[in-house]
Chains A and B, each alone.
Chain A
């Protein structure tokens, strides 16, 4: 008996060991077939095959279900309220604008192309009047035609910030800077179309009258917030739960933070839409709370792409780079990740103290903390994202951060400390969001390198969900002695205005909701922004952008870490895939197709 029992136990132990070994080996492998990265008709297109170029366009067929996975829901699917980059990208499935970003890869994707309008704007000589004519055959999901009044009403909703907060308000700032109009919900006129800056002489014509010229106005009209909304379908604050479609797809179902399904809008006509191809029959989005699980399911093939487009998590990235490189693209995101120095906190009111930090920082270590050159991005050397006209990338490197000083320059930092009257260094606090581990890692890297030059730094991890309330209030920043704030920013539209105006203009220093953390109030910079908005020539606009960037970078208000890059996943089922600068290096969602 005893012998038999022992043998049984041994067998059980061996079996258990075998099972554990099998499990561990399969877990380590992560499953799936290896890709050679070469690309094939049935397989993935190859590493970077869709980065700034179109991959497998001819394999896209009509039909099928395109499956998105996401680790976070949009801030709102209401075209007026959404501000997340992926929401703007995704909203083109169910909303159209007068003009939109071109459905082209790379930099061409940031150019404006006609959508509901027959052509781009007819602009008056003084740059203050923009006229559009709507094309025939464009309809809502109930078959009624989309009129110029619907476009006007949709834009007017931006003024109702007390009900529809959250979205960009550029149109309000440009069309009605004094905020004389109170929004359609408080509009006393019978048709609720009382905004004087927009005229609709007939159902096909819309005229915008700007109080002052703004050369990026058409870029602003390409934003999702300029989408038409039909008055009788406007459910106000609840519109985002089921927007009324003007695009090729309409909402079938949506449960916030769980899932969403879009199906074909049968009233949409291909002939009326020069932009959208509408390949799949159905578009689904499933939201996950476990980003690792989501990445593994992307790799497993359960989903086609990540709606967030902010790159794979470290675990998923490692597996994907090793085994499925042909499914990956490594685009520049358009974001710059940086540290910014509020001038209200001493000694950062002194330019030399700011520069001491820039010279003292180990830029390579900061890049590593962000994920390295592939997953994190190239070392940031100035403050204009590479996708913005006028950007020089690493060619402009005033502090030699990517070359001679990439590991910091202690001697130069001490020289700057002496010049700022703090030869023995100083004490300060870094404010960093506690829900961004990568940002915390950069804060720690900066803390370590600054110690070498005598700058003693304390790290304060604040509640990331309260960012606006904590660092968006300059008085609070000063009270908490936040000398260094770790943040990042991407362009709302690819221009120096769409990127830098809220960050660098003295007019944008706000008591709450402030994004000009450095509190830059420089008349030269403000003057350059004024010149930029009046300038209609693209080459001259690029020159002014360059000048603004030089002023900001040389003022030492920022320590850029990286020109951010992502590693994004595309499934082997996807066709007609390309990244677009119009959407910060994301895949252009609206024309993704499936292979058959």
Chain B
């Protein structure tokens, strides 16, 4: 034990450094792949990305200026290098006598909205984070709770009812449940306004605007989590060590809460890390349906307008969020499951 505790922090630190290094490599690879997709593929397909930025009376000089300003004329490795450099040292975009400074961290510049990407991301990130956090709390409580109860009351009316609701939650597309909830509670019953209000403007207004998106998003995920929790819990309850725990005379709450839940939580946590990380990158459908001004909405507008720098920026944020969430999950494994502790 003494050796274990002494070696623990060093091992954890080494592990952390390894993981962070792997995460950095992963991000570099993602940037390279995204660059290829967004800047090289259109070129191979015979489409000029610069032409998408100019109007219907496209002047060749204007197309060329966009090409210069966004560095699209440079070789791909130069573009990637400039992008990396911009993150740490900022970047200058110049064309036709117009100079635009993009301060570090510069994640690119939107020629369409004439804004640096980083402020756009930081402006919209809190909305997405609030959506993901609120929904995650809801789906973890409701989904995992319903799954555990269903497993414990296997075959009961509760179990069947909960699983039917869960099945419908998984099956119904989010834009359908979103429209249904808007139709019912906002346009029909008029119980709430359902429009996003910044938290700084009004807490109650913000809460009123977030409730439906939280519930709608949580409904989908809670359904998935309920089903997976039920299945895992049933499997765990059939394990020998649970039978042993019961035979030892442990109370049912201890058997379930201390022993069964730990094993059940491992796959749930893995799923949660992936889901939460992906949501941080923008719950596109939910944000679109409820017109929430988050990252998902930004990326959708960017896709519609072929605003490649915004798409690239949001893609990187999503990747980063998934990587960080997975790293946290891996660290949490050690807390939940003693078998994976490094010491």
Could you tell me which A residues sit within 8 Å of B by CB distance?
A: 9, 22-24, 26-27, 29-31, 72-73, 75-76, 81, 83, 160-163, 165-169, 183, 185-186, 236-238, 240-241, 255-258, 287-290, 292-294, 296-297, 299-300, 302, 435, 463, 465-466, 468-470, 472-473, 476, 479, 502, 510-513, 515
Contact A31 B187 (CB under 8 A): yes
Q: How far is the CA of A27 from the CA of B180 in the complex (A)?
A: 7
A-B pairs, 5 with minimum CB distance: A513-B58, A26-B188, A162-B96, A165-B62, A185-B97
Q: How far is the CA of A472 from the CA of B55 in the complex (A)?
A: 11
Q: How far is the CA of A30 from the CA of B61 in the complex (A)?
A: 51
Contact B98 A296 (CB under 8 A): no
Q: Which residues of A contact B13 (CB under 8 A)?
A: none
Q: How far is the CA of A81 from the CA of B297 in the complex (A)?
A: 24
Q: Which residues of B contact A73 (CB under 8 A)?
A: 113, 301
Contact B66 A165 (CB under 8 A): yes
In-complex Cβ contact of A512 among B51, B55, B298, B300 (8 A): B51
Could you tell me which B residues sit within 8 Å of A by CB distance?
A: 42, 46-49, 51-66, 95-98, 100, 112-115, 123, 157, 179-180, 182-184, 186-190, 193, 195, 287-291, 293, 297-298, 300-301, 303-306
Contact B190 A472 (CB under 8 A): no
Q: Which residues of A contact B289 (CB under 8 A)?
A: 290, 293
Q: Which of B49, B52, B54, B98 has the most CB of A within 10 A?
A: B54
Contact A166 B55 (CB under 8 A): yes
Q: Which residues of A contact B55 (CB under 8 A)?
A: 75, 81, 83, 165-168
Contact A29 B46 (CB under 8 A): no
Q: Which residues of B contact A511 (CB under 8 A)?
A: 60
Q: Which residues of A contact B195 (CB under 8 A)?
A: 297, 302
Q: Which residues of B contact A29 (CB under 8 A)?
A: 188
Q: How far is the CA of A511 from the CA of B51 in the complex (A)?
A: 12
Contact A515 B61 (CB under 8 A): no
Q: How far is the CA of A93 from the CA of B287 in the complex (A)?
A: 31
Q: How far is the CA of A439 from the CA of B95 in the complex (A)?
A: 37
Contact B157 A9 (CB under 8 A): yes
In-complex Cβ contact of B46 among A185, A289, A479 (8 A): A479
Q: How far is the CA of A469 from the CA of B306 in the complex (A)?
A: 11
Contact A26 B66 (CB under 8 A): no
Q: Looking across the interface, which residue of chain A has its beta carbon closest to that of B175? A: A290
Q: Which of B62, B180, B287 has the most CB of A within 10 A?
A: B62
CB within 8 Å for A23 and B98 given contacts A162-B62, A293-B289, A466-B47: no
Q: Which residues of A contact B287 (CB under 8 A)?
A: 289
Q: Looking across the interface, which residue of chain B has its beta carbon closest to that of A20? A: B184
Q: How far is the CA of A290 from the CA of B292 in the complex (A)?
A: 10
Shortest distance between the CB of B191 and any CB in chain A (Å): 10
Q: Looking across the interface, which residue of chain B has its beta carbon closest to that of A72? A: B304
Q: Which residues of B contact A163 (CB under 8 A)?
A: 65, 95-98
CB within 8 Å for A165 and B190 given contacts A256-B113, A465-B304: no
Q: How far is the CA of A470 from the CA of B193 in the complex (A)?
A: 42
Q: Which of B49, B55, B61, B190 has the most CB of A within 10 A?
A: B55
Sample of 18 further A-B pairs with CB below 8 A, known A26-B188, A161-B61, A293-B291: A22-B189, A27-B188, A30-B183, A81-B55, A83-B55, A163-B97, A169-B57, A185-B97, A236-B97, A240-B114, A241-B114, A288-B291, A296-B182, A463-B306, A466-B47, A466-B306, A470-B47, A472-B58
Shortest distance between the CB of A244 and any CB in chain B (Å): 16
Q: Which residues of B contact A287 (CB under 8 A)?
A: 291
Shortest distance between the CB of B266 and any CB in chain A (Å): 34
CB within 8 Å for A469 and B114 given contacts A238-B100, A435-B304: no
In-complex Cβ contact of A468 among B56, B97, B98 (8 A): B56
Contact A469 B56 (CB under 8 A): no
In-complex Cβ contact of B48 among A30, A238, A435, A469 (8 A): A469
- Interface CB pairs A-B, < 8 A, 27: A26-B183, A27-B180, A27-B187, A73-B113, A73-B301, A161-B61, A162-B95, A163-B95, A165-B55, A165-B58, A167-B55, A258-B293, A287-B291, A289-B291, A292-B179, A293-B291, A296-B187, A300-B186, A465-B304, A465-B306, A466-B47, A469-B49, A470-B47, A476-B46, A512-B60, A513-B51, A513-B54
CB within 8 Å for A183 and B300 given contacts A469-B52, A512-B63: no
CB within 8 Å for A465 and B114 given contacts A31-B188, A165-B54, A289-B287: no
Q: Which residues of B contact A258 (CB under 8 A)?
A: 293
Shortest distance between the CB of B156 and any CB in chain A (Å): 11
Q: How far is the CA of A465 from the CA of B42 in the complex (A)?
A: 12
Shortest distance between the CB of B260 and any CB in chain A (Å): 26
Contact A465 B56 (CB under 8 A): no
Shortest distance between the CB of A530 and any CB in chain B (Å): 20
Shortest distance between the CB of A397 and any CB in chain B (Å): 29
CB within 8 Å for A465 and B305 given contacts A161-B65, A165-B62, A293-B289: yes
